[in-house]
Structure 1
Amino acid sequence: MNSLQRALIEKIGMDNGFEHTLIVEMGSVTLASARHPACATVVVVGSGFKIHFKSDSASLPPELLCSSPAEQQAGDGLRVADEAALAALLRRTAGLCCALPSQIAVGYDRAVAEALAALPCRTADTEIERFVRLRVGQQKFRQALLEYWRGSCAVTGVALPEVLRASHAKPWAECSSDAERLDVFNGFLLIANLDALFDRFLISFDDQGGLLISPQLPVIDLQQLGIHSGMRLRWLATEHQKYLGFHRSVYEAYSIAAR
């Protein structure tokens, strides 16, 4: 690796979520960030790069493979063809590291405390605190889903923020802890019409991500909404399954009751 290649890697890292250079060795550069705990060691291979990631999150490697299928697995790392692909992979990794469950909860209580302290009349009213925790939590959850799903609907790929909703699979009120409520795998980023039906258990998804449609929904309405049985999630992680199982059990109960 020459000095020009090293400078290029450092610049790509700085622009895509890895703003610090930790280690420079003869054949590699290791990048890191203050915003997340992952490190990326980049090696030049021909005209491309091999990247090895180190992270506390066991979810990161499988998520990179299932949501970024263009990357090639190379031993214990990933291989990309050029600078543009390296930038996209680093940017995706940084986004995932900020969105995956261990990171969403970081700073949640601090953000709640700051929001409470900013109120004009600070009281010990538990109802006010409950509302603030809900608002802050939903903001964090939405941001995490936007990062995880690359700012696009989990089904259609529509990327207009104005029509995207953060949909919980296991509803906020049903969750037993903030960890469940803020878990990026407990939900999907959906366009508004899919979100409305998902929220009311009129649609769900099977274990392979295929769309399930309640018999309560008239065919003509589905056609007008642009919804059909061939729709499916763009990808589905193992960690989604327990929350999706909860949602599907309610969906199935409602569907049976409607027959």
Structure 2
Amino acid sequence: MEILTFRAFTTPDADPRSGNPAGVVIDADALTPDEMVGIAAELGFSETAFLSAISGNAVTVRYFTPRAEIAFCGHATIASGVALARQGSAPLVTFSTRRGEVPVEVTPGAATLVAVDTTVDPLEPGQVSELLTALRLAPADLDPELPPAFVRGGNPHPILFVRPGVLDGLDHDDQAVLALQDREGWDGTVPVVERISAGHFASRNPFPRGGIREDPATGSAAAGLGYYLRAGGHISAPATIEVRQGAEVGHPSLISVEIPAHGRVRVTGTAAPVSS
């Protein structure tokens, strides 16, 4: 067994702080779930990926936060793809996850995952009200052109869109957000998104359920954003968007999302090794 750490969704300027740290455990076949959550807690990252049954073009993956197992994690998938490529895997690897099979194109420096099919539904008014309170936002802070929604894909994400200038001052109530996530079973982050331009977005993702205040880069939420934009007619597909995240917590990150006219969204990011 080998335990690696990577920074996923790094920025092109090679900033050593950039990207979301993730653990990648190679050859985790003999580990129990309790041991996996223990390793994830010791590493202390928002998620750690545990890879087993590795062959040339297939791998079984389980994802753990420091608190519990979750169904999927985008940035740990990108990190895992780069880790496998650096060990000589096939250029296309199928990740078998709790959310289904995820094809991942891998290279020693970057990876592209094909997100699972995602549904987009309106958020109930009561949920919007509770989220605003937990996030310490007001209804007037919301972007009237992009209504709140709930996306279900790799992970469940309630997503809110805010007017320009609101995102910088986000100061959510950790315990209130955690109570909502625990009650509703929201394993994913709570994305708060600002549209900068047609193809550029900024996002902040509170994630106390993952054991951290805010996630620096969230691949599953970025994929959900792509589905949301296409489903609501907010973008002309095919299109590629850029999501910037993490600067407020000291880990600036960059996520690229390819939105086809039909079918599954693709999420691309670079990754850099930290330690072994």
TM range (shorter): under 0.3
More helix by share: 1
Using the size of structure 2 for normalisation, the TM-score is 0.26
Specify which structure has the bigger relative contact order, considering alpha-carbon pairs within 8 angstroms and separated by 6 or more residues. 2
Using the size of structure 1 for normalisation, the TM-score is 0.27
More strand by share: 2
